[in-house]
Amino acid sequence: MRLDKTEISLGLIALACVLFGFVSPGWLIFLLTIALAKALVVQGVVMQMRSGLVSFGQGLFYCIGGYTVGMGGQFFGIHDAIAALSLGMFVAIVVAMLLGLLLTRYREIFFAMLSLAFSMILFGILVKSQELGSTDGFNVHDWTLFGWAPEAGAGSQHTVFTMTVVSGLIVAVLIHRYTKAGIGVICEAVRENEVRVEYLGLSPRWLLYGNYVAAAAVSALGGGLTALATGHVDPEMAYWTTSGEFVFIALLGGLGHVAAPFIAAIVFSFVRTYAIEFVPHTWQMILGFTLLAVIIFLPKGLWSLVSREKTGERA
Amino acid sequence: MTCILETRSLNKEFGAVIAAKDLNVQINKGEVVGVIGSNGAGKTTFINMVTGYLKPTRGEILFNGKSIMGHSPRAITRAGMARSFQVAQLFPEMTVLDNLIVALAAAESARPSFLSPLRSDARIARAEEILKEFGVENYRNSLVTAVPQGARKLVDIAMALIGNPQMLLLDEPTSGVSVDEKTDLMDTVMNAVRQHGVTVLFVEHDMDVVERYVSRVLAFYSGEIIADGEPAAVLADQQVRDLVTGHRPTTKQGNGAS
Ligand SMILES: Nc1ncnc2c1ncn2[C@@H]1O[C@H](COP(=O)(O)OP(=O)(O)OP(=O)(O)O)[C@@H](O)[C@H]1O
Ligand SMILES: [Mg+2]
């Protein structure tokens, strides 16, 4: 497997993050873990945005990933973190394969609203489920990693952080390749001109379907990691404001680079944390202004601060 | 001569508008057929039906002797019938090179790869050859939006040819192109087409262009085919002169129509 420049940079940054984890205070580790896990969910949103679809219901897969990890530990004796995360992705893939059959028939606002509807249906089901703690949700069972049980508190927090960074790295490399591979580029082609794609002998629907399912798996991983990090899941994960936050972060970062959602999610978490601390009643307003500023001054997202407009051939 | 495309009493109605009325057409392998007709005569509708974009109200379409009624545009493309568009249909935010590379990948497989790079050296090299063949190599790295009409039309046609079709339907390949560029553009296209041994049907408003390239002309009027035959005969036909071409000055014979 040959790595390109972006992949090597991603690897080095991930390594730096892991090392940073050993010296940074617990609150910061926790903030970064949640931000990076959310960034994975946002990657799913971004994958779909590239194909021209905006999902206002990515919380569905975030929630599925989280609840599968939670339920696996509480009810089915699955305590291994990797197994639980994998199961969460698997369940998300199965659900996405079913919903995708319907959703890929729709575009634009219809797709957005329908994706929102499905996540709200899950929210409704969870709220009605007394066994799953209704609106309170339930706690995630202590978990292990390859048979090893990290000590509760700081130890497990640190382990989740490392797992999140490593997952983030793997996903980032895969998405980086995916974006440049046939399906990634042709999904962009679908966004730009579906008729032409069809007349090249390809099925736009099948492409969007594959992309939708892949995005669901990535988002579910983010949900699972969040569950491990917070030790708790609740129906809020599928609520529409949660999905809205993912879209917000996606716009904040832009579609320019696979690193953008990570940067945006970290910026978002800091802005929100400090806004809540210093101006507790107006933090939503601050987020609103942030987004407004980004849309007006950086329409291609925060990533455009990092990249200079490349001319000529795209690498 | 073997028939490659046949339509049998093909009809299309848009509400009260009859866009196609009992179209019976047989196109033979290797023919170059011109389609003429005034605006709204049903030329694009014919192409749209034959390529699966529009569902005919009634009738039958056979491609290589087999019915393709109800098939999707992509199935028909895969079966070997490609088309270009009256307004070039490209990927506007991609470079010209990338447009061709996407078409090359699509021609190779209906299931694009999830991880291996689309822009492989082999595809880039092939795309560059095609750029040269169509004389648009100057626009290699230009975004489609920055490319003039004529070049866009050529890229559109190049993309259609990449899948090695047996038949190519061109919807007004020279529309939006200045009069002096028309012949160059058509020469380029017809050269490429001849090399691929493709059967061609093209819609054209300019009778000089039609006469120069085709072996047969179909004249559409109000959803019907009012004349079908050799160019000289069709263009001299009284009905065609009255309804389609108007009384354009011709160098071939006197003009006695009223
Ligand atoms: N999707 C549609 N819905 C309703 N009417 C349509 C539609 N497409 C075409 N028509 C009508 O069908 C008739 C034939 O249209 P068509 O586009 O086939 O003409 P054309 O011969 O290609 O004309 P032009 O030279 O302007 O391209 C016209 O009256 C047009 O208004
Ligand atoms: Mg037309």
Q: Which domain CATH number covers B70?
A: 3.40.50.300
B160 pLDDT higher than 60 = yes
Judgement on whether residues B26 and B66 belong to the same structural domain of the protein:
yes
Q: Are the C-beta atoms of residues B94 and B102 closer than 8 Å to each other?
A: yes
Residue B204 lies in a domain: yes
Task: Report the half-sphere exposure of A188 (CA within 13 A, side-chain side).
Answer: 20
pLDDT of residue B1 exceeding 90, the answer is no
Q: Do residues B45 and B68 both lie within one domain?
A: yes
CA A92 to each of CA A43, A66, A123, B60, B130: distance values in angstroms, whole numbers, following the listed order: 15, 10, 15, 44, 43
Q: How many domains, chain B?
A: 2
* Closest CA relative to residue A98, chosen from A4, A8, A209: A209
Q: Say if B116 falls within a structural domain.
A: yes
The closest residue, in CA terms, to atom 18 on ligand 1 is B42
Q: What pLDDT shows up at residue A1? A: 63
Query: What pLDDT, on a 0 to 100 scale, did the predictor assign at position B200?
Result: 93
Alpha helices in A193-281, H assignment, sequence order: 194-198, 204-230, 240-253, 260-278
Interface of B with A in 208-237 (CB under 8 A): none
Burial readout B70-87 (b: 16 or more C-beta within 10 A, e: otherwise): ebbbbbbbbbbbbbbbbe
Q: Does B151 lie in the same domain as B34?
A: no
Residue A307 has pLDDT above 80, yes or no: no
Q: What percent of chain B has pLDDT over 90?
A: 45
At residue B253, the pLDDT reads 45
Q: Is residue B214 part of a domain?
A: yes
Q: Work out the average pLDDT over A189-193.
A: 93
Q: B220: CA distance to ligand 1 center in Å?
A: 12
- In this structure, the answer to whether residues B29 and B156 fall within a common structural domain is no
Give the pLDDT score at B248: 59
Q: What pLDDT does B256 receive?
A: 38
The sign of the dihedral angle between the CA atoms of A269, A272, A277, A278 is positive
Cβ of A194: how many Cβ atoms within 10 Å?
19
Domain shared by B57 and B181, yes or no: yes
Residue B178 has a pLDDT of 83
- Do B18 and B61 belong together in one domain? yes
Q: In this structure, are residues A178 and A54 in contact, taking their beta carbons and an 8 Å threshold?
A: no
B247 vs B67, more confident: B67
B77 touches chain A (CB under 8 A): yes
Can you point out the beta strands (E) in chain A?
Answer: 138-139, 232-233
B26 part of a folded domain: yes
Residues in A touching B93 (Cβ below 8 Å): 188, 192
Q: B 130-149 residues with CB below 8 A of A?
A: 141
Q: Which domain range does residue B68 map to?
A: 1-79+166-189+198-248
CB contacts, 8 Å: A193 with chain B = 89-92
What's the gap in Å between the CA of B227 and the closest CA on chain A? Answer: 30
Of A12-26, A94-108, A127-141, B18-32, where does mean pLDDT reach its minimum?
A127-141
Whether B97 and B213 share a structural domain = no
Residue B99 sits in the same domain as residue B57:
no
Structure-model confidence comparison of residues B109 and A65, the more confident one: A65
> Does B94 lie in the same domain as B69?
no
Mutate to test the pocket of ligand 1, among B10, B11, B36, B44 (most ligand atoms within 8 A of CB): B44
Confidence of residue A135 (pLDDT cuts 50, 70, 90): confident
Alpha-carbon distance of A200 to B77, in angstroms, equals 7
CB atoms within 10 A of CB A249: 29
E strands, A136-194, are 138-139
Tens digit of pLDDT for each residue in A110-124?
A: 999 999 999 999 999
Do B19 and B39 lie in one domain? The reply is yes
Rounded-to-10 torsion of CA B33, A197, A116, A219: 170
pLDDT digits (tens, 9 = 90+) for A147-176: 787 777 777 788 889 999 999 999 999 999
Contact (Cβ atoms closer than 8 angstroms) between residue A238 and residue A128: no
User: What was the ipTM of the complex prediction?
Assistant: 0.89
Q: What is the pLDDT of residues B238-257, one digit of tens each?
A: 777 778 777 655 444 444 33
pLDDT score for A54: 93
**Confidence label for A276 from pLDDT (cuts 50, 70 and 90):** confident
Residue B20 and residue B117 in one domain: no
pLDDT at A200 (0 to 100):
94
B91 to A207: CB separation less than 8 angstroms, yes or no: no
Say what the pLDDT of residue B179 is. Answer: 83
Ligand 2 ion: nearby residues, β-carbon < 5 Å? B 43-44, 86
Residues 6+ apart with CB under 8 A from A121: none
Q: What is the model's pLDDT at position A314?
A: 42
Residue B71 shares a structural domain with residue B113: no
Looking at residue B54, the DSSP 8-state letter turns out to be S
B251 contact A CB<8A: no
* Tens-place pLDDT, residues B92-143: 999 999 999 999 999 988 888 888 888 999 999 999 999 998 888 999 899 9
Q: What's the pLDDT score for residue A122? A: 92
Q: Quick check: helix, strand or coil at residue A277?
A: helix
* Summary mean pLDDT of chain B: 87
Share of chain A above pLDDT 70, in %: 97
The predicted structure's pLDDT at residue B249 = 53
Ligand 1 residue neighbourhood (C-beta within 6 Å): B 14, 17, 19, 37, 39-45, 86
Are the beta carbons of A199 and B107 separated by less than 8 Å? no
- With tokens 């966004």, the residue in question is A191
A308: confidence class by pLDDT, cuts 50, 70, 90: low
pLDDT per residue as tens digits for the range B167-190: 999 999 988 888 888 888 888 889
Compute the half-sphere exposure of residue A236: CA atoms within 13 Å on the CB side of its CA. Answer: 10
Q: What's residue A313's pLDDT?
A: 38
Q: Which atom of ligand 1 is nearest to the CA of B205?
A: 25
User: What residues of chain A, 148 to 207, have a C-beta less than 8 Å from chain B?
Assistant: 174, 177-178, 180-186, 188-189, 192-193, 195-203, 206-207
In the block, which residue shows the tokens 């569902």? B55
